[in-house]
Structure 1
Amino acid sequence: MGRRSDHSRSELEALIVTEGRRQLAEVGLARFSARDVAKRIGYSIGTLYNVFGSYDGLMLAINARTLTLWAAHLRERLAASGEDRIATLVRGYFEFATDNPKAWIAIYEHHLADGGAAPDWYQAIAADLMGVVVGEIAAVLPEAEPDALLALARSLVATVHGHCVFTLYMTFSMLGETAPVDAALTRVREAIAAARG
């Protein structure tokens, strides 16, 4: 039986997202169950859907929390960085992905049931993460136009992301790549040098 009055709505949201993210990190998106989340926290599945509206709403909230933690991780790493902030950024990207593999990949595996775009609030959280990258690229390319910086940042994220995915799925091991972080950093440095030229 559900504990319908034990928590305020904001407390309930936090409780659900915390347990949902814990479960997602443990079992991955393919085996993730909103019903199991509800059971673990002592509420009905109906309560989860009352709070988040749908399975998609729940997943967006969980993935938003992962994005927020990821941005915080990068900012913390950069705050303690030496002069080579680009290397810190690339390594921080890999660290978060390898420390949170199932929750990290769920950001990219989950698609809205209607095939539409994520809501504005979610896109703002994703944009905040991208803003960390854009800020570091802008620091090394101060003359670049804002649109060009954003386009380059997106491409660099895609490059590092691909290296992360190949690492997590052990594709690089099969291909003989023994230093994927260094390989990703080399590609990033090459792209920045080309943009300077």
Structure 2
Amino acid sequence: MGRRSDHSRDELRDLILKAGEGLMAEVGFANFSAREVAKRIGYSIGTIHNVFGSVDRLVTAINTQAFGDWAEALERSLATAGDDRIAALVEAYFRFARENPRRWAAIYDHRPASETITEAEHEVRGRLLRIVAAEVATALGRPVDEALGTFTRSLVATVHGHCSFAITGSWAAMGQHDVEAAALARVRESLAAQAKAP
């Protein structure tokens, strides 16, 4: 039986979110079960629906937390980066994915309806890109504007593609090694070309 009177709504939200994050890290998005989350915290599945509204909203909240943790990992890396801050960003991107493969993959495996993401969640999810854009702007000596934002997204997509190949083993299967170095090289080439652009 559920312990409906044991926790406030905010406490329940935190309890569900923490259990959900733990389960996602263990089994990934494809095997994620809100019923298992409810079981782990000793409440009914109805409690999760009452607090989050839907399983989709719960997964969105779990992935938003992953985005926040990822952004914090980038900032920690930058805090001790020295002069090569671009290399620190690429290394931190790969490290988060390697250390949190299922949480990282769930961000891309789950497709929430855009209207279900709150403004606060958009703010958290956008923080990672803002961190990268600020470093790219500094490297190029340019302001953060729409054009730089588009360029930054392309750089992130380049790193993400390499990282995805590394995590899934596709890079090694092609007989390639040191995927992180290859990703950094592509980023440096793109930055050099962008610096020469009018």
Q: TM-score, normalised by structure 1?
A: 0.95
Post-superposition CA distance 1:87-141 (Å, at most 9, x none): 00000000001100001100100113x5767443322222111101001101111
Alignment of 1:34-183 (within 5 A): 34-112=34-112, 118-144=117-143, 146-183=145-182
Structure 2 unaligned segments of length 5 or more: list them: none
RMSD: 1.4
Q: 3-state DSSP class of the match of 1:7?
A: coil
Q: 3-state DSSP class of the match of 2:30?
A: helix
Identify if the C-alpha distance between structure 1 residues 142 and 115 changes in structure 2 by more than 3 Å, giving closer, same or farther: closer
Task: Name the amino acid aligned to 1:187.
Answer: R
Identify if the C-alpha distance between structure 1 residues 51 and 117 changes in structure 2 by more than 3 Å, giving closer, same or farther: closer
Q: 3-state DSSP class of the match of 2:177?
A: coil
Structure 1 unaligned segments of length 5 or more: list them: none
Post-superposition CA distance 1:128-168 (Å, at most 9, x none): 11101001101111235611210111001100000111001
Q: Quick one: percent identity of the two aligned structures?
A: 49
Q: Answer yes or no: is the 8 Å Cα contact 2:67–2:128 preserved in 1.
A: yes
Q: TM-score, normalised by structure 2?
A: 0.95
Runs of 4 or more consecutive aligned structure 1 residues displaced over 6 Å after TM superposition: none
Equivalent pairs, count: 196
Post-superposition CA distance 1:60-80 (Å, at most 9, x none): 110011001000111011011
Which has the higher mean CA deviation after the structures are superposed, 79-88 or 117-126? 117-126
